[in-house]
Amino acid sequence: MNLSAPTKIFAVLACWCCLLGVWSCERAKNLGTRLQGPGEQLQIVFTDTVTIRASTVLLDSIKTSESNIYLAGRYRDPALGVIRSSFFALFVPNDTIVALTGSAPRYDSVALRLAMPATNASYGDTTKNQTFRVHRVTQDLNDTIYFNYSTVAFDPTPLGQRTFSIQNLTQELGLKSMNIRLADNFGQQIFNLAAQRLTISAFQQTIKGLTVQPNDIDDAGIAGFGIGGIQLILYYTDVDDGSPKQLTLFINNFRSFTNIQNDRAGSPLAGLNGLSQPLASANSNQQTAVHNALGIATLLEFPYVQAFKNLGNTIITKAELVLFLANNSFSLFFKQPSRIAFTEMTNDNRVIRDANTFPVFVQQDGAPLQETRAPLVAGFGAIFGGYPAIITNHFKRMIDGIKSRKIAVREFIQNPFQQQNPLLDPNNRAARAGLVSMNRMVFNANRSEFKSVRLELYYAVIR
């Protein structure tokens, strides 16, 4: 009997299937033996109980001058205590001299304009009223580095004040903003100096700057104002033609800064005192915290790394660090960061820095040992409720003694005006100011609960 071509093909395939069926029914023997030495057996082990010691630590002071944003306000954080912020600013014209225009100028008024960036940089309860007072700075603001603890002298008598809520600020060109009218004797002084067409340095000998201070009984929130949104505006009129005029002075970013204070009395972090002195989670309601602008970080220590060396021939296949936020620790008013990163720490709890004094970050898994510009970044999962991070390579290097057994958790800031993270750019003079953020995290460090800070480890042992 002659078979057609399709029928022949079908018959051949059927035969192959039968043969494959016979082979697949035989159980595999000695699979992988060529990968092992004589007498060795590969045993897969999984554990999710690797102990991590979690604590909260105060790191180095945070640079707040040359920032993209300046902060003011006061509120009580249930996890951190009272947080108070104010900023100090020096003003300059968009020119080489301070001068008026018009043939016959006449003074009208002066005001400080404050506008929030489009990202609406605010923190705390934006619906509550609070009061900002504007004071005259009496001490020179220099071209130096200012930190979150820095302050300069100012006149205790305010030039002006305004009570407002962040939620109800006026929308102008898509930005929330407000004007705080200042004393006319101050405005008249600026007018008289500008009429003399002074150089900037001569002008600043008299007008040394302004500071915005919150009311010390307010419990509302922190408002952030962008560089271009902070302006000292002199309003005047040209008498000859009746036209309104204004002289706008802008913030000098190199000589301005934010002061941030934190009174932790009565909070879970009341025992956090002194730089590099960790507060164990057992002494802070089984929680740890992160707040970049305050220099607060969560310190993670892996104390039993040596035990893995004692297992003999061990192959770490995966190490996943998981950090869960504490229940009810974030809300619309207390926002959690979208991303975190990890800095390497010394044994005495200080940030490890490179030759340019920038923090050394834990690198992405798979990055070469000498890589420093590919930081591991963990994103927040809303459904997951935490931040997962693969640290397999870094954990292996801990075991080998190449890396410290301590790392610190911090918010990862991407500077919107730069392509790369400013923390990694040694040529960026304002790099450390990228840490100024009021977002905070509170992690659950209760080891008895599944959703807490933990390390999930997959490894194999050759016996």
Tell me: the pLDDT tens digits for 340-356? Answer: 999 999 999 999 988 88
* pLDDT score, position 21: 38
Mean pLDDT value across residues 55-82:
91
Pairing assessment for the beta strands 287-291 and 42-50 based on DSSP bridges: unpaired
Name the one residue in this structure whose structure tokens are 């954080």: 77
d(CA 432, CA 258): 13
Mean pLDDT value across residues 275-293:
95
Provide the token pair at 48: 């999710």
d(CA 131, CA 218): 7
- Note whether 194 and 236 are within 8 A (CB): no
Tell me: the pLDDT tens digits for 163-208? Answer: 999 989 988 767 889 999 999 999 999 999 999 999 999 999 999 9
* pLDDT score, position 43: 61
Please say if the pLDDT value at position 22 is more than 90. Answer: no
- Top mean pLDDT of 36-45, 274-283, 425-434 is at 274-283
Please say if the pLDDT value at position 67 is more than 80. Answer: yes
The whole-angstrom distance between residue 126's C-alpha and the CA centroid of its chain comes to 20
Residue 328, burial from CB neighbour count under 10 angstroms (0-12, 13-18, 19+) = exposed
d(CA 434, CA 445): 28
Q: How confident is the model at residue 36 (pLDDT cuts 50, 70, 90)?
A: very low
Q: What are phi and psi of 393, to 5 degrees?
A: -60, -40
Q: How confident is the model at residue 49 (pLDDT cuts 50, 70, 90)?
A: low
Q: How confident is the model at residue 19 (pLDDT cuts 50, 70, 90)?
A: very low
Q: How confident is the model at residue 47 (pLDDT cuts 50, 70, 90)?
A: low
| Sequence-distant contacts of 367-370: CB under 8 A, at least 24 apart | 367/393, 369/397, 369/402
Provide the token pair at 167: 């939620």
* pLDDT score, position 12: 37
Please say if the pLDDT value at position 104 is more than 80. Answer: yes
Q: How confident is the model at residue 284 (pLDDT cuts 50, 70, 90)?
A: very high
Name the one residue in this structure whose structure tokens are 């004797």: 185
The whole model's pTM is what? 0.82
Mean pLDDT value across residues 72-83:
94
**Apex CA 229: angle with CA 228 and CA 234, to 5°?**
100
Least confident of 92-101, 108-117, 285-294, 329-338: 329-338
Mean pLDDT value across residues 84-102:
94
What amino acid occupies position 164?
F
* pLDDT score, position 347: 93
* pLDDT score, position 333: 80
Please say if the pLDDT value at position 366 is more than 50. Answer: yes
Please say if the pLDDT value at position 453 is more than 80. Answer: yes
Tell me: the pLDDT tens digits for 239-254? Answer: 999 999 999 999 999 9
Q: How confident is the model at residue 417 (pLDDT cuts 50, 70, 90)?
A: very low
Provide the token pair at 185: 């004797």
Complete DSSP assignment for 1-43: -PPPHHHHHHHHHHHHHHHHHHHHTSPP-STTGGGS-TT--EE
Closest CA to 257 of 136, 432, 89, 85: 89
Q: What are phi and psi of 48, to 5 degrees?
A: -120, 20
Output the average pLDDT for the chain. Answer: 84
Residue 419: CA count within 13 A, CB half-sphere: 1
Q: How confident is the model at residue 118 (pLDDT cuts 50, 70, 90)?
A: confident
Tell me the β-bridge partners of 248: 233
**Apex CA 76: angle with CA 276 and CA 54, to 5°?**
35
- Note whether 144 and 224 are within 8 A (CB): no
Share of the chain above pLDDT 70, in %: 84
* pLDDT score, position 444: 95
* pLDDT score, position 44: 58
Please say if the pLDDT value at position 459 is more than 90. Answer: no
Complete DSSP assignment for 367-382: --TT--SSB-EEE-BT
